[in-house]
Amino acid sequence: MTEPPAAPPEAGSLSVPRRLTVPPHPLTAPQRAVLLAVADILIPEFGENPKASAAPGYEAWLDRSMAARADSLETLSQILDELAGSADIDLDERLRGLHAAGDGRFHLLSSVVAGAYLMVPEVQRLIGYPGQHASLPRIDEAAEELSDGILDPVLERGHIYVSAAGEVNGSSTGIPVLLAGRNQHMRFSKVLNVVGCHAEGEVGNVVTGGNRPRARGDDVR
């Protein structure tokens, strides 16, 4: 597959902004030509790896990359207008000057072209990049991380939380908990709740303590 996957069908009501797969408005032909020239300067051909514009389906992924930075599309267009008309050698020098300026514009430009390149499936295959994927934790990973003592100062201190109303509550006496499969005890201030996992597989929230269910907006420390 060399083309980006199609956008999901639109729902009747969304609580988050609709995911864009194409930029809100297209670049002009001169702007697009400059962007491709910039991409080839920043990502030239090297060994088996093609230059940016020669990567299969690169322009389609470039649209996807610009859609991801739709909030900065006007700034990107302004940069491309400023670079328009430069010969290759002049464009290289102007890109170096843009980088030296350190105002974030080079970062925007380079992240768009590099992001698109790294989404091309053929490029991912050539460089051995598997793309982003979930890495689920082992069932005993939380216990292993807790048993190395990294949270001992927090557990000994006890739970502290700040409610949405600003109420501060302190700790109470903890209770010993035996970790299965380990010949040691750890002290928890009340109950250990693993309440979620991050999409990438990291343990999202570990809440120690609490004498009542937390209200929305509570700040757990």
**So what's the pLDDT on residue 194?**
37
Q: Does residue 15 form part of some domain?
A: no
User: Does one domain contain both 115 and 41?
Assistant: yes
Do 177 and 188 contact (CB within 8 A), yes or no?
yes
* φ, ψ for residue 4, nearest 5 deg: -65, 150
- Domain boundary residue among 100, 127, 154? 127
- Within-domain flag for 42: yes
Assess whether pLDDT exceeds 70 at residue 213.
no
Residue after which a domain boundary falls, among 62, 92, 127: 127
Q: Which amino acid is at 36?
A: L
| CA-based max dimension of the chain | 73
Which of 127, 156, 181 marks a domain boundary? 127
The whole-number pLDDT of residue 16 equals 58
Report the distance separating Cα 61 and Cα 131, nearest Å.
Answer: 14
Average pLDDT, the chain: 75
Closest CA relative to residue 107, chosen from 132, 75, 139: 75
Q: Is residue 187 part of a domain?
A: yes
Residues 146 and 193 in one domain: yes
Q: Specify the length of the chain in residues.
A: 221
**Within a domain: 78:** yes
42 & 99 share domain: yes
- Whether the predicted pLDDT of 205 surpasses 50: no
Residue 14 maps to a domain: no
pLDDT given at position 203:
36
- Return d(Cα 32, Cα 38) in angstroms, integer: 10
Same-domain pairing of 150 and 121: no
- CA neighbor of 61 nearest in space, from 104, 124, 133: 124
Residues 168, 105 share a domain: no
Each residue's pLDDT tens digit, 152-195: 888 888 877 777 777 766 544 443 443 333 334 443 333 333 33
My answer on whether 75 and 145 are in the same domain is no
Q: Is the pLDDT of residue 219 over 80?
A: no
- Residues 7-25: what's their mean pLDDT? 65
For 104-117, letters b (16+ CB in 10 Å) and e give ebbebbbebbebbb
Distance linking the first and last C-alpha atoms of the chain: 46
Q: Are residues 175 and 119 in the same domain?
A: no
Q: Which amino acid is at 148?
A: D
Note whether 162 and 210 are same-domain residues.
yes
Helix (H) or strand (E) holding 112: helix 105-119
Residues 207 and 118 in one domain: no
- Asked if residue 4 is part of any domain, the answer here is no
Assigned domain for 7 exists: no
Q: Do 102 and 179 share a domain, yes or no? A: no
For the segment 56-91, what is each residue's pLDDT rounded down to a tens digit? Answer: 999 999 999 999 999 999 999 999 999 987 776 789
Q: Is 155 helix (H, G, I), strand (E, B) or coil?
A: helix
The percentage of the chain sitting over the pLDDT mark of 70, rounded to a whole number, equals: 66
- Span 108-167, pLDDT tens digits: 999 999 999 999 999 999 999 988 878 777 878 777 777 788 878 888 888 777 777 777
- Same domain, residue pair 118 and 149: no
At residue 14 the predicted structure's pLDDT band, cuts being 50, 70 and 90, is: low
- Pairwise CA distance, residues 177 & 197, whole Å: 22
Angle at which helices 29-42 and 58-68 cross, to 10°: 100
Residue 167 backbone class (left: φ over 0; alpha: ψ -120 to 50; beta: rest): beta
pLDDT of residue 2: 57
- Supply the pTM of this predicted model: 0.57
Residue 37 CB coordination number (10 Å): 21
Host domain of residue 97: 29-127
Residue 215: inside a domain, yes or no? yes
| Tally of domains in the chain | 2
**Is the same domain home to 41 and 119?**
yes
